[in-house]
C-alpha cells in the first residue's frame, strides 16, 4: 500500500560514504556501520542537532541525513571540518588495519519529500537529493580521498558555497575551498571541494571564481569590457554614438567621431576647461 507523498520541505542534506566498504567481510562491515553511527552522533551533537531535528536513512556503506533548516549550515560545516575528522582520527588510532575507516562527505541543501510505502523504510524523493548523491559518487571526490593523507574529504554543493561558505563566517576559510566540475550525464555540476583538488582535476580557486562572478555581474575587473566597449591587447576601446561620455570625472560633450585618434566636433569639456573645436584634431 502506497502512502501519500508528503509536501517537499527544505533540508540540509548530509551524505556520508565509507571507502572500500564492499571489500570488507560481514563482521568488518557491521563494525564499520556501528562506528559510523557513533561518529555521526558526535558530529551532529557538536552542531547542536537534536534527535527531533534530523532524519537518518542507513544505506549500508553510508548514511543519508536530513537536518532541519533550523540548524545553521555554518554550525554543520564547522562540525564537519573539526569534530568529524577528530572523531575519525581517534577511531582509526584504535582500530585494526582491517577496520580502518575513510569517508567521503557531502553537504548540500534543497527540497526533499517522502514517498513512503507500507512495510518498507525510506522513500525519499527530490531532485536536489539526486544531485547530492551524484556529488557523493563523483570520481573527483573519490580521487580526492584516494590522494589525501587525511581520513575524510568534504564537498559542498554550489548552493551551500554561495549561500554560506564564500561569506567567510567564523571557522570557514573560503580560500580552503576549490571549485570542481562534476559530470552529470549530459551536463556538468558545480561543486566546491575542501582542501586541494586531486591531481589532474579541473578546478579554480575562490579568487578566480570571484573574479568570474564580478564579470558576470557587470563588474569592471581587469579584462572586463564596459557596455559599448571592448578589450584589445589590454587597451580599452569605447565607442560613443552620441550624447556625452564621462571619463574619470571629466565630461566629453557634443558629437564625437573617432575619439581615439580621430576628429572631435562640438564643445569639449574637460573638468572646468572648455575649448571650442571646429573640426580640428583632438
pLDDT in tens, 257-277: 444 455 555 555 555 555 554
Half-sphere exposure of 197 (CA within 13 A, CB side): 21
What does the pLDDT read at residue 226?
39
Whether residue 128 lies inside any domain: the answer is: yes
User: pLDDT value at position 116?
Assistant: 87
Report the chain's C-alpha Rg in angstroms: 28
In the sheet with 273-281, reading across from the earlier edge strand, the strands are 245-247, 250-252, 263-270, 273-281
The domain of 164 spans 9-216
Instruction: Look at residues 87, 84, 44, 85 and name the one whose alpha carbon lies nearest to residue 68.
Output: 44
Domain match, 154 and 261 both: no
Examine residue 196 and state whether it is found in any structural domain, yes or no. yes
Return d(Cα 180, Cα 114) in angstroms, integer.
Answer: 30
156 lies in the same domain as 116: yes
**One domain, residues 158 and 251:** no
Is 110 inside any structural domain? yes
Q: Domain boundary residue among 178, 194, 216?
A: 216
Strand partners, 16: 63, 105
In a domain, 222, yes or no: no
Same domain for 166 and 55: yes
Same domain for 93 and 176, yes or no, is yes
On the question of pLDDT at 243 being above 80, the answer is no
In this predicted model, what pLDDT tens digit does every residue of 30-72 receive, in sequence order? 999 999 999 999 999 999 999 999 999 998 899 999 999 999 9
Give the chain's domain count. Answer: 2
Please indicate whether residue 234 or residue 116 has the higher confidence score (pLDDT).
116
DSSP symbols for 19-48: TTGGGS-HHHHHHHHHHHHHHHHHHHHHTT
Here the cell at position 116 is: 513512503
pTM equals: 0.72
The yes-or-no verdict on residue 14 having pLDDT over 70 is: yes
The rounded distance, in Å, linking the Cα atoms of 210 and 80 is 24
Range name among 73-77, 86-90, 227-231 with the lowest pLDDT average: 227-231
* For residues 241-256, average pLDDT: 48
**For residue 88, what are the CA distances in angstroms to 7, 32, 65, 96?**
36, 11, 18, 13
Final residue of a domain: which of 183, 216, 249?
Answer: 216
H or E element, residue 131? helix 127-136
Q: What are the backbone dihedrals phi and psi of residue 159, each rounded to the nearest 5 degrees, phi first?
A: -65, -40
Does 155 share its domain with 251? no
Q: What is the DSSP string of 139-202?
A: HHHHHHHHH-SSSEEEEEEHHHHHHTGGGT-TT--GGGEEEEEEEETTEEEEEEEESPPPTT--
The pLDDT-based confidence of 158 (bands split at 50, 70, 90) is very high
Amino acid at each position: 500500500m502506497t502512502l501519500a507523498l508528503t509536501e517537499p520541505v527544505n533540508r540540509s542534506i548530509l551524505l556520508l560514504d565509507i571507502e572500500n566498504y564492499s571489500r570488507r567481510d560481514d563482521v568488518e562491515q557491521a563494525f564499520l556501520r556501528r562506528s559510523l553511527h557513533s561518529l555521526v552522533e558526535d558530529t551532529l551533537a557538536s552542531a547542536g542537532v537534536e534527535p527531533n531535528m534530523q532524519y537518518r536513512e542507513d544505506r549500508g556503506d553510508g548514511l543519508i541525513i536530513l537536518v532541519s533548516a533550523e540548524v545553521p549550515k555554518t554550525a554543520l560545516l564547522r562540525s564537519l571540518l573539526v569534530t568529524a575528522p577528530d572523531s575519525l582520527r581517534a577511531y582509526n588510532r584504535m582500530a585494526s588495519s582491517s577496520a580502518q575507516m575513510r569517508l567521503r562527505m557531502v553537504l548540500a541543501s534543497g527540497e526533499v519529500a517522502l514517498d513512503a510505502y507500507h512495510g518498507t523504510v525510506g522513500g525519499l524523493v527530490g531532485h536536489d537529493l539526486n544531485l547530492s548523491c551524484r556529488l557523493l559518487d563523483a570520481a573527483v571526490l573519490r580521487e580526492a580521498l584516494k590522494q589525501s593523507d587525511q581520513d575524510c574529504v568534504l564537498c559542498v554543493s554550489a548552493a551551500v558555497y554561495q549561500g554560506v561558505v564564500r561569506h567567510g563566517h567564523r571557522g570557514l576559510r573560503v580560500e580552503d575551498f576549490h571549485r570542481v566540475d562534476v559530470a552529470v550525464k549530459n551536463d556538468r555540476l558545480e561543486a566546491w571541494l575542501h582542501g586541494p583538488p586531486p591531481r589532474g582535476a579541473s578546478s579554480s580557486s575562490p579568487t578566480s571564481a570571484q573574479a568570474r562572478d564580478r564579470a558576470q555581474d557587470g563588474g569592471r575587473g581587469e579584462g572586463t569590457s564596459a557596455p559599448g566597449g571592448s578589450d584589445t591587447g589590454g587597451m580599452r576601446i569605447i565607442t560613443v554614438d552620441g550624447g556625452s561620455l564621462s571619463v574619470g570625472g571629466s565630461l566629453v560633450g557634443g558629437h564625437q567621431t573617432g575619439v581615439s585618434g580621430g576628429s572631435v566636433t562640438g564643445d569639449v569639456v574637460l573638468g572646468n576647461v572648455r575649448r571650442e573645436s571646429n573640426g580640428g584634431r583632438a
